[in-house]
């Protein structure tokens, strides 16, 4: 079980996640169900947060998605939010069931229009190093992953908030 701490290398070493995202898989164009397809982080021109989540994950739906909404509001939309609904760590389900459920959640319940992709077999999140859901992947304006965090409890969200303040400045908070 993770304590929500960042997945960094020991002090003095560069973060394990600070590698070229071009080396990692990216959701295919047909995997995007809301406002996609979206290119990888290097094409955004601004920092971004990718949230790997699952609809059956209470921490994702009840804490992580609302926290990301709040963070985006506090930073006045100065970063790119992206959702990746992943089967990694969850029971696999046919995409024919997942897509309408996720679309309904995003548009009717959460009222989100963020780019969202489906990782039906969990391979994308697994390749990115997700520990489960929710897992946050934070990228700088150049598209480099600067940190990733697992969890939605206060320790993880506090670290994410501080990281975003560091990347974007505390303006708007």
Q: In terms of pLDDT, which residue wins out, 1 or 81? A: 81
CA distances for 128 relative to 50, 85, 124, 137, angstroms: 11, 14, 6, 9
Domain 49-134+148-173 has CATH 3.40.30.10: yes
pLDDT at site 11: 32
Axis-axis angle for helices 65-74, 154-168 (nearest 10): 30
Q: How far is Cα 63 from Cα 60, in angstroms, rounded to an integer? A: 6
User: pLDDT digits over 9-33, tens only?
Assistant: 333 333 444 455 567 899 999 999 9
The domain ranges of the chain are 49-134+148-173
- What's the average model confidence in pLDDT over 133-151? 96
First-to-final CA distance of the chain: 32
User: pLDDT digits over 91-105, tens only?
Assistant: 888 888 899 999 999
Q: How far is Cα 62 from Cα 78, in angstroms, rounded to an integer? A: 24
Residue 48 · residue 80 · CB < 8 Å = yes
């Amino acid at each position: 079980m993770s304590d929500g701490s960042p997945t960094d290398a020991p002090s003095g070493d560069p973060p394990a996640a600070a590698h070229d995202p071009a080396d990692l898989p990216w959701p295919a164009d047909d995997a995007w169900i809301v406002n996609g397809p979206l290119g990888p982080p290097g094409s955004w021109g601004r920092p971004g947060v990718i949230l790997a989540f699952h609809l059956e994950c209470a921490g994702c739906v009840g804490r992580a998605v609302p926290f990301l909404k709040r963070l985006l509001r506090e930073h006045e939309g100065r970063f790119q939010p992206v959702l990746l609904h992943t089967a990694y760590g969850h029971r696999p389900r046919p995409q024919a069931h997942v897509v309408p459920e996720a679309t309904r959640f995003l548009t009717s319940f959460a009222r989100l229009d963020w780019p969202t992709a489906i990782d039906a077999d969990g391979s994308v999140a697994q390749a990115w190093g997700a520990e489960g859901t929710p897992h946050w992947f934070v990228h700088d304006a150049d598209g480099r992953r600067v940190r990733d965090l697992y969890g939605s409890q206060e320790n993880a969200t506090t670290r994410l908030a501080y990281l975003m303040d560091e990347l974007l400045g505390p303006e708007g908070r």
